[in-house]
Amino acid sequence: MRIFVFEYVTGGGYADQPLSGLLGDGEAMWQALVDDLIALDEVEVISMRDSRLAMPQRPRLEVVATSAERFAEDFRQCLAAADAVWPIAPECDGILERLSRDILAAGKRLLGCHPDAVRVAASKHATLQHLAASGVRVARTYSSPFLMSADRPLVAKPDDGAGCQDTFHFECLHAAEAWVLANGGKNFAFQYYLAGESISLSILCCDGQAQLLSVNRQQVSLEDGRFRFRGVTVNAMADPDGRYEAVARCIAEALPDLWGYVGIDLVAAADGPRVLEINPRLTLSYAGLHAAMASNPAQRVLALPEFTPCHALVPVTLAETCAPSPERIAA
């Protein structure tokens, strides 16, 4: 099988502009996924790389250097040459949904969530409304602080943003309202601040079923009124009472078009876990999953709809500084 691994940030999605601040995460996910796939005897990998980045050379890996001028043609040729495509891209601005629809339109096997599920997951407001209607405990979300009544600390984040980008903390409702009047606040989601650990789940989904791979502790700090993501410890926590497994299963039942690796962000609040958002794609945690599980997570995805037992073994910490080292950036 020839698999086209397309990671948007490292693969030329920003070839016509400065490389995104998400480069470090993108590089870590790309390297981990490529390593997992080329470790499988039956798989060859083709991938695109922004020509400003170093071009890795590995067995059964073909790397196509791309630029802004060549991006569309290079993508078309890689798509045509592949049997299946594994996209990793931001949900914002409809990027991942469009890529997924293009892959299906080309008649290729999509190693990711169906575009309909991506469309829902791309909006925090739509996601949490959908999950709440299905009985999943979520952080209640509003489109404006003027719809909120309790004068408590709250959080504002882009409705279709990725990670902690542009995520703000306000000490009171009045401060959030003043910020909206001054800045517009258009396309933001507003939530009351929930005290508790920032947790993510790495799960596999297929046909409305889910398997929990690991429970991860996110290192998130509050600095000058903004939340900053500082890294993640994969398999940081056990799930002795099955509460996180239950969350994973409920989400898969509510969104049966989720497929393959999916990341779930939540808060371990005093009254139990509350879901914040769904990432319908690889997340940074994937980069530590192979070591944490002592097994190949990409192989598990390719084996779907079959789920095989798994046991995470050790915690693996990934710092936010996992950006490419200088020698990995082309001169």
d(CA 88, CA 4): 11
CA distance 90 to 97: 9
What is the average per-residue pLDDT within 53-63? Answer: 95
Mind listing the pLDDT tens digit for each residue in 236-290?
999 999 999 999 999 999 999 999 999 999 999 999 999 999 999 999 999 999 9
Task: Give the confidence band of 19 by pLDDT, cuts at 50, 70, 90.
Answer: confident
- pLDDT at residue 323 in the model: 43
Rounded-to-integer distance, Cα 207 and Cα 281, Å:
16
Over residues 206-218, the mean pLDDT reads: 96
21 pLDDT tier (thresholds 50, 70, 90):
confident
Q: First CA to last CA across the chain, in angstroms?
A: 34
Task: For residue 10, give the 3-state DSSP assignment.
Answer: helix
Residues linked to residue 198 through DSSP beta bridges, in sequence order: 267
305 prior amide bond cis, ω within 30: yes
CA distances from 240 to 34, 197, 217 (A): 32, 17, 16
Computed over every residue of the chain, the mean pLDDT equals: 92
Could you tell me the domains of the chain?
A: 2-112 (3.40.50.11770), 121-135+195-319 (3.30.470.20), 141-192 (no CATH)
- Asked whether residue 9 carries a pLDDT value surpassing 90, the answer given is yes
Identify the band that residue 325 occupies on the pLDDT scale cut at 50, 70 and 90. very low
How far apart are alpha carbons 116 and 294 in whole angstroms?
33
* SS3 state of residue 32: helix
Q: How far is CA 88 from CA 66, 105, 154, in A?
A: 17, 18, 30
pLDDT of residue 5: 98
Number of Cβ within a 10 Å radius of residue 143: 14
- The per-residue pLDDT for range 188-206, each reduced to its tens digit, is 999 999 999 999 999 999 9
Question: Which whole number is the average pLDDT over 8-28?
Answer: 91
* Mean pLDDT computed over 121-138: 94
Residue 224: band (very low, low, confident or very high) from pLDDT cuts 50, 70, 90: confident
What pLDDT is recorded for position 327?
A: 35
Average pLDDT over residues 302-325: 79
> CA-to-CA distance for 330 and 317, rounded, in angstroms?
27
Q: What percent of the chain has pLDDT over 90?
A: 85
Residue range 168-191, pLDDT digits in tens: 999 999 999 999 999 887 889 999
Q: Taking the alpha carbons of 320, 166, 228, 87 in that order, is the dihedral positive or negative?
A: negative
Q: Sign of the C-alpha dihedral, residues 251, 302, 291, 117?
A: negative
CA angle 118, 120, 122 (to 5 degrees): 65
**Alpha-carbon distance 97 to 196, whole Å?**
32
**What length does the chain have?**
331
Is residue 329 predicted with pLDDT exceeding 70?
no
197 burial level (CB within 10 Å; 0-12, 13-18, 19+): middle
User: What is the 3-state composition of the chain as percent helix, strand, coil, each rounded to the nearest 5?
Assistant: 30, 30, 35
C-alpha–C-alpha distance, residues 76 and 12, integer Å: 13
User: CA 33 → CA 94, 216, 286, distances in Å?
Assistant: 23, 18, 8
What's residue 162's pLDDT?
66
**What pLDDT is attached to residue 78?**
98
Task: Sort 135 into a burial class: Cβ within 10 Å, 0-12 / 13-18 / 19+.
Answer: exposed
pLDDT of residue 219: 93
What mean pLDDT is predicted for residues 145-160?
A: 93
pLDDT at 184: 81
Q: Give 76-121 pLDDT, tens digit per residue.
A: 999 999 999 999 999 989 999 999 999 999 999 999 999 999 999 9
* Cα–Cα distance measured from residue 27 to residue 302, given in angstroms and rounded to the nearest whole number: 22
